[in-house]
Amino acid sequence: MAFASCTFIFFLLLLPLLAIAQTDGRVAVGASLTAAHNASPWLSTSGDFAFGFHPTDNEDLFLLSIWFDKIPGKTVVWYAHEDGNPVLVPEGSKIVLNAENGLLLSNARGELVWKSAVARADVAYGVMNDTGNFAIKSRNSDMLWESFAHPTDTLLPAQIMKINGQLFSRQKENNFSRGRFLLSLRENGDLVLNIVNLPTNLVYDGDGPYYNSHTSDPANESNSGNQLIFNESGDVYVLRRNGQRSLLGTGSTLPTPREDFYQRATLDFDGVFAQYYYPKINTGNDSWSTVWYQPENICLRVGGLGSGACGFNSICSLNENGRPTCNCPPGFSFLDPNDNYGSCERDGELDCHEDGQISKEDLYDIEVLPDTNWPTSDYERYGTNYDEQDCKTSCLNDCFCVVAIYGGGSCWMKKLPLSNGRKNSSDKSKAFIKVPRGDRPPSFPNLREADDDKNKRNLIITGSVLLGTSVFVNLALIGALCLSFFFIYKKKLSKIDQGGLETNLRLFTYKELAEATNGFEEKLGRGAFGVVYKGTTRMSASGSRISIAVKKLDRVVTDGDKEFKTEINVIGRTHHKNLVQLLGICEEGEQRLLVYEFLSNGTLAEYLFGNRKPSWCQRTQIALGVARGLVYLHEECSTQIIHCDIKPQNILLDDNYDARISDFGLSKLLMMDQTQTKTAIRGTKGYVAPEWFRNLPVTVKVDVYSFGVLLLEIICCRRSVVDEEMGDEGNIILTYWAYDCYSEGKIDALVSEDMEVMNDTKSLERFLMVAFWCIQEDPCLRPSMRKVIQMLEGVVHVTVPPNPSPFSTIG
C-alpha cells in the first residue's frame, strides 16, 4: 500500500514534466524566445521542425526561421521577411506570441521590426506543425496566420501556392538577402521563372520567362492552372481548374517508402527550382539528393535583359549535376573573389589611343574559347564571307571590341558589359577574347623595380654560366657582379630617397607628364585640389599606352614634404573596385602632380544631371558602389581615411558605369582656409556636415552626412542646391524639400512621377529613409557606412527616421 502511494505521488510530480515534453507543438499566448547562440527553439511534436532564431554567417545577426532540426546544418525552409528581404536582428532580440497581433519581433532595443498580420485580434495559441508550418489559431481553431501562406524560397509537402503566389531565391547559398530569381504562379495559370533586377525587384519579362509550365489556356479558362501543390506523397504539380494535374518532375520518382524521407522543393540561389529528399534514418553519408530540377539547362534558357544565369562578363556552363557553374573568361576575374556566381571585371583597360608606331597585333593576343557565346551583346556584325582570321583582325583593330564571335561565316563584335554568357557543346561558334600581350595587364605595374629584378636575375645566370673558366676570369666576373649589384641597389636607394615612398607608385618626372599631356593641353576639369588634364603614357613592358588623368595640385601645403609623402603612401596602398586607382606621382620643387587611371564615362555629376536621366537600376547600383568604397576607406584599409569631400563631382564612372570614388585622402593636403567654406542658405553647408561649423570633432560621420546628401541627389536626379530662379522657395534645398515630401506622403514629386521608380516604391522609401538617417544633424544618430549598405540592400530593417534637421532655421 505504501509502495502504491509513493508511486502515485511520484506520477503526480512527473505530470508537469510530461506536459512540457508532450505539447503537440503548441505555443501559448505570451510565450517568447530570445535570440542567442544555442537558444532553445519551439519544436514540432516529432521534433522534425524547429521555429526560432537561426544564426547567420554574421555571428552578430540572427534570422527568425523554421528549419529541419534533425538534419546536420539545420536546413532553413522559411524566415521572417518583408517582400523577400530577410529581417535580421541582433542578439538579445525577442519574438513574442501576442493575443492581439500574433507574432511580434522586436530588436534588442525593444523596437518592433516585424509582425505576423493576423486576420483578427483573437489569438488563442500557436503551433509548430510536423509539416513545417507554423500556424496561429483562434479560440475556435480558425486559421489566423500560417507560414505556409508566406513562403520564402521553399515549399514543403502539404503546402499549396495559389495564384500570384511567389518564391524568391537567396543571393547566395548562405546569404538570405533576396536574390535575382523569382518563381510565380500567374493569373493566367502559368508557373514561370524570371530574372529580377536588384535592388529594384523589377521583373525582367520582356523576352519571356526562362521557364514556363505552359498551363494557361486562353481558349478554355477551366483548363488553366489554379494552384501549385506539393502533396504529402511527394508529387509537385500545377492543379488546373478542371482538376487535371501537370507534374513538374515527369519521369522522376522518389525512393520508397516515401515517408522515410524528408522532402522540400526549393528555388535555389542559382535560379534552378528543384525537388530534394533526405533520409530520416542516418546512414553516415547523407545529403540532400535531387529528384528533378527546372529548367533543364538554365545557361541556355536565360536571355534578354540582365546579366544572365551568371553575372556580367562571365560564362555559364552546366556541371555534372546539371547545375550552373560560372567562370570568368581570360583577362577577367571575379569582382568579388568570394562570389563565384557574380560578375567579372577586366584585369586591365583596353587602349583606344591611336599610335601608328605600334600595331594592335603587338599590343594584344587573341584567346580562343570554343562553343562559347554572349548572344545579347552585339554592336557590329561583319559579312557572310568572313573567315576566322578576318574576324580576329577586325576585333584587334576595333578598340571597342572585347570579344568577337565567329560562326557560319559571320563575325559579331561585342563590347562591355557582356551578358548572358554561356558554353554549349552544340553551339559551334568560337569566341575570340582580346587580351593584352605579355604577362602584365595594361593597368599600372611597378615596372622599374621589376626591370631591376630582371637585371639581377640575368647577371646571376650569366655569371653562373661563365664562372670556372679561369681564376683570373672568375675574379673579374665576381668583381663585375659586385659592381652591378652595387649600382642596382644604389639606384633603388636613390629612388627611395628621392620619393620617400613605401608603395609601388611610379615616380614621374615633370617633363614626362608634360609630354604625356601634350603640354597640359586637354583640361578635364578643376576641383578644390587643382586642375586635371588628360594624357597618355606607356605603362607596361610591352610598350602599350594607356590613358591617364594628371592632377596638378595647386592648393597644397608645399613646405610639408613629410606630410605629403605620408598621405601619398596611405593613398598608394589602397585598392578597391570602387576607388579610382592612383598610378604614380611627380614631386619636383614646388610641383606636386598625381597620376590616376582615366575613366572614360566622366563624373557622376555629368551623368546624373544631364539631359538623359539614368535608370533607377543604374542609380541604385551607383549608390551602393559609393557606399562600398566608403566602407573600405573607413574600415578596411590599413589607415583610416576620411574623405571630407564626397559629392557627385568626385565620383567617377568606369566603362561599366560602376562608381569609383576619387580625391580620397587629399583633404589633409589642403591649405587650412579651404576647409572653411560657408554658406548662408538656411544653415545648410551643401555637402558639409554641421559639425564642421560647430567646433565638434570631425569623424567618419562627416562622410556619412555627405553620402546622405549624395544619395538624395541620386534618387531625385537633381542638385542639392538649385538657383533661386530655377525653383520656388520650398525646393531650393534638396534635403529640406525631400523630407517635407516624405513626411507629407508626396514622394512621387521627388522622382517627377518616374514610372520605373514608382513601380518600386518600397525600395524608393527605403533609400529615402536611409538618406534621412545619414543627414541627421546629430552625428551619433548617423549609421556607419557598413550599416548603410545593409539598410540599402534590405538586409537590416530601416526604421522611420526623425526630422534630420530639427535645429535648423531659415537664414
User: Considering 153, 190, 270, 645, which one is annotated as catalytic?
Assistant: 645
- In this structure, the answer to whether residues 137 and 163 fall within a common structural domain is no
At 510, which CATH number?
3.30.200.20
pLDDT of residue 708: 96
Q: How far apart are CA 42 and CA 16, in angstroms?
A: 18
Cβ-proximal residues to 734 (8 Å cutoff; 6+ apart), any chain:
709, 712, 713, 716, 718, 719, 720, 721, 722
pTM value > 0.75 = no
Q: Cβ(185)–Cβ(191) under 8 Å?
A: yes
Q: How far apart are CA 694 and CA 494, in angstroms?
A: 46
- Of 432, 467, 495, the last residue of a domain is 432
- Of 102, 122, 150, the last residue of a domain is 150
The C-alpha cell at 176 is 538570405
- In this structure, the answer to whether residues 769 and 626 fall within a common structural domain is yes
**Burial (Cβ within 10 Å: 0-12, 13-18, ≥19) of residue 699:** middle
Q: Pairing state of beta strands 332-334 and 134-138?
A: unpaired
The C-alpha cell at 277 is 529528399
Cβ-proximal residues to 80 (8 Å cutoff; 6+ apart), any chain:
63, 64, 65, 86, 87, 105, 114
For the question of residue 645 being annotated catalytic, the response is yes
Is 258 within a domain? Answer: yes
- In this structure, the answer to whether residues 309 and 384 fall within a common structural domain is yes
- In this structure, the answer to whether residues 193 and 304 fall within a common structural domain is no
pLDDT of residue 713: 95
- In this structure, the answer to whether residues 632 and 744 fall within a common structural domain is yes
Residue written as grid cell 569609383: 660
Q: By C-alpha distance, which of 494, 520, 519 is closest to 507?
A: 494
pLDDT of residue 391: 93
Q: How far apart are CA 204 and CA 190, in angstroms?
A: 16
Is 803 within a domain? Answer: no
Pure H helices in 332-434:
360-363, 388-396
Q: Pairing state of beta strands 273-279 and 289-294?
A: antiparallel
At 133, which CATH number?
2.90.10.10
Is 108 within a domain? Answer: yes
Which contiguous run of DSSP H or E holds residue 169?
strand 166-172
- In this structure, the answer to whether residues 615 and 762 fall within a common structural domain is yes
- In this structure, the answer to whether residues 288 and 308 fall within a common structural domain is no
pLDDT along the chain (811 residues), means of 10: 46 42 78 93 96 87 95 94 88 94 91 87 93 94 94 97 96 89 96 87 84 94 94 94 90 83 96 95 80 93 86 92 92 87 83 58 86 89 84 89 90 91 87 76 34 42 40 50 48 42 75 91 79 83 73 65 71 86 86 88 89 86 95 85 89 89 74 34 58 78 94 92 59 87 88 81 92 92 92 87 67 33
Is 7 within a domain? Answer: no
Total structural domains within the chain:
5
Half-sphere exposure of 734 (CA within 13 A, CB side): 26
pLDDT of residue 504: 67
Is 806 within a domain? Answer: no
User: In which domain, by residue range, is 103 found?
Assistant: 23-150
- Of 547, 572, 597, the last residue of a domain is 597
- In this structure, the answer to whether residues 179 and 67 fall within a common structural domain is no
- In this structure, the answer to whether residues 559 and 471 fall within a common structural domain is yes
Is 735 within a domain? Answer: yes
DSSP-assigned beta bridge partners for residue 687: none
- In this structure, the answer to whether residues 593 and 458 fall within a common structural domain is yes
- In this structure, the answer to whether residues 580 and 547 fall within a common structural domain is yes
Find out whether 613 is annotated in a ligand binding site: no
At 777, which CATH number?
1.10.510.10
- In this structure, the answer to whether residues 625 and 750 fall within a common structural domain is yes
Is 469 within a domain? Answer: yes
Q: How far apart are CA 589 and CA 633, in angstroms?
A: 30
Is 809 within a domain? Answer: no
